[in-house]
Amino acid sequence: MPDVDVLVVGAGPAGAVAAWHAKQAAPGLDVLLLERDRAIGAPVRCAEGVGDAGLREFANPDGADWVSRRITDVIFQAPDDTEVVLANCGLGWVLDRTRFDAFLAAQAAAEGATVLVGAEATAMARNGDDRWHVRVKQRGVDEVYRARVVIGADGVETMVGRWAGLDTRVPSRDMESCAQYVLQGIDFNPNAIYLQFSNAIAPGGYAWIFPKAVGVANVGLGLVSLKTDGRNARQYLDSWIARRFPTGARTGYTVGGVIVHTTINKTYADGVLVAGDAAHMINPLSGGGITNAMKAGRLAGRVAAEAICAGDTSERRLAAYHQAWMELLGEDHLKYYRIKHALENVDDESFNNLARTVNKIAAEKRTIGRVFAHALIKHPQLIPVAARFFV
Amino acid sequence: MRRVTPDTIAVVDLAVCDRCGLCLPLCPPEAIHLELNVLTVDRAACTGCEKCVGPCPVGALAMVAYA
């Protein structure tokens, strides 16, 4: 039975950064990073947008081959297609997750972590020896690893949390059902992300266009099924695309869930930490989770390494991770969550009116600050909408 | 305590399911499993609450008679 110090389940941004930083904090530890799929980063279940500042804490996007597109503008679209253009309002990136996730895993490997692909954790249990016994299936063969700390970075399914006895369930109203195509040969501003808010197009969420290249974009939407007319996310997306981009070639397709909740009440147990989507660490207002996952992974990796070095992997010790996360971002997410629910009561006509009145501000004066100020006066509940992506 | 048998339970159409895992955390009794790229609903654990059906982005889950 192979022994490791830290076993990380899931090689997305949370898991790869956790393995990387655990090894960096304590180079003498054995760190194992498992990925269920055959290739790290694929299939992509993501719109791939990320803000500049958070990304730079981990990697330099300038000239990187894991970047698809540099973004400078945000274009909000009202339900009636009225556009509010915010030029040069901040910097962001649309990533190529197939390359970006592999890049992060390579960082972990460069620190000395072992990376296994096509390796699925299928069960884990405590056997009275202060270790987790994790059953891993690879190429049809089961092997049990003993680990001092297991970091669950296994995404929306969050099985590690479940096995550790944590409550990782989500109420229906806090689950966004998403569908997305990669569309080619479509006409849009390739330096802008587009966000369209409408109860008819994406009830309880929004529709997006995130550029991958000139004429190529991730085009998708997220919705809350309780608010729909009975159609599923793919059907809503097909309707939207039929109207907006009837001639676009659909060269890729993905679906998935985004948990727009707040961090689970307990992200730790004896010898277990849960990070990223698995711990509901998504910005509930924007649905963005990449940098959150990396920041949580960094905390989890460090806390796990320090706990092992101190000879204490009890949940009392590991609770420091939860506290650090809540101070870093978890408390903010509680606020965003309340704002999100306030916004749900804004109807399509109010969004249309807001777009038209904001457009009376001259384009060169239409800074994000002025739009905020305007929104504050006219529709105070709308302020955070403009910040959905870049906050 | 004896579990009350529901009239209907959830079933997955694996030809439609995309294995995205969205339904797993929505299931109150944690009756949905995704292992080795196959989604299964544990019919002994499903309570028939239907919480997994509407949110499926591709409509792969449906309710059927328990019997």
Average pLDDT score over residue span A326-331: 97
Q: Is the pLDDT of residue A9 over 50?
A: yes
Nearest to A325 by CA among A388, A250, A363, A273: A273
Nearest CA in chain A to B18: A255
**How many structural domains does chain B have?**
1
- Identity of the amino acid at A120: E
What is the CATH architecture of A49-95+172-260+345-387?
A: 2-Layer Sandwich (3.30)
Residue A141 β-bridge partners:
A138
Give residues with Cβ within 8 angstroms of A241, minimum separation 6.
A181, A183, A219, A248, A250
Indicate the helix (H) or strand (E) that contains A163: helix A159-163
Cα distance between residue A322 and residue A180, in whole Å? 33
Report yes or no for ipTM above 0.90. yes
| Alpha carbons A183 and A252: distance in angstroms, whole number | 7
Measuring CA to CA, which residue among A294, A387, A276 is closest to residue A56? A294
CA distance B7 to chain A (A): 22
Q: Which of A138, A169, A176 would best serve as a mutation to test chain B binding (most B beta carbons within 10 A)?
A: A169
Q: Is residue B50 part of a domain?
A: yes
| CATH assignment of the domain containing B25 | 3.30.70.20
Average pLDDT for residues A295-310, to the nearest whole number?
A: 98
> For the residues A128-137, what does the mean pLDDT come to?
95
Homologous superfamily assigned to A3-46+97-170+261-341: FAD/NAD(P)-binding domain (3.50.50.60)
Where are chain A's structural domains?
A: 3-46+97-170+261-341, 49-95+172-260+345-387
**What range does the domain containing B50 cover?**
8-65
User: Residue A226 and residue B22: Cβ atoms within 8 Å?
Assistant: no
Determine which of A137, A157, A280 to mutate to test the interface with B (most B C-beta atoms within 10 Å). Answer: A157
pTM: predicted TM-score of the whole model, two decimal places: 0.94
Tell me how close the Cα of B18 comes to any Cα of chain A, in angstroms: 7
What's residue A364's pLDDT?
A: 75
Query: What percentage of residues in chain A have a pLDDT greater than 70?
Result: 94
Using only C-alpha atoms, chain A has a radius of gyration, in whole angstroms, of 21
Q: Does B26 touch chain A (CB under 8 A)?
A: yes
Summarised one tens digit per residue, pLDDT across range A12-70 is: 999 999 999 999 999 999 999 999 999 999 999 999 999 999 999 999 999 999 999 99
Contacts of residue B36 in chain A, CB cutoff 8 Å?
A: 120, 122, 137
Which pLDDT band holds residue A390 (cuts at 50, 70, 90)?
Answer: very low
Instruction: With respect to residue B59, please indicate whether it lies within any of the assigned structural domains.
Output: yes
Nearest to B20 among A120, A169, A256 (CB): A256
pLDDT in tens, B21-60: 999 999 999 999 999 999 999 999 999 999 999 999 999 9
Question: What number of C-beta contacts closer than 8 Å exist between A and B?
Answer: 78
Residue numbers in A near B60 (CB within 8 A): none
Name every chain A residue with its beta carbon within 8 A of the beta carbon of B56. Answer: 177, 232
Model pLDDT for residues A59-107, shown as the tens digit of each residue: 999 999 999 999 999 999 999 999 999 888 779 999 999 999 999 999 9
Residue range A376-388, pLDDT digits in tens: 566 655 555 545 4
List A residues 252-271 in contact with B (Cβ-Cβ < 8 A).
254-257, 259
In a domain, B1, yes or no: no
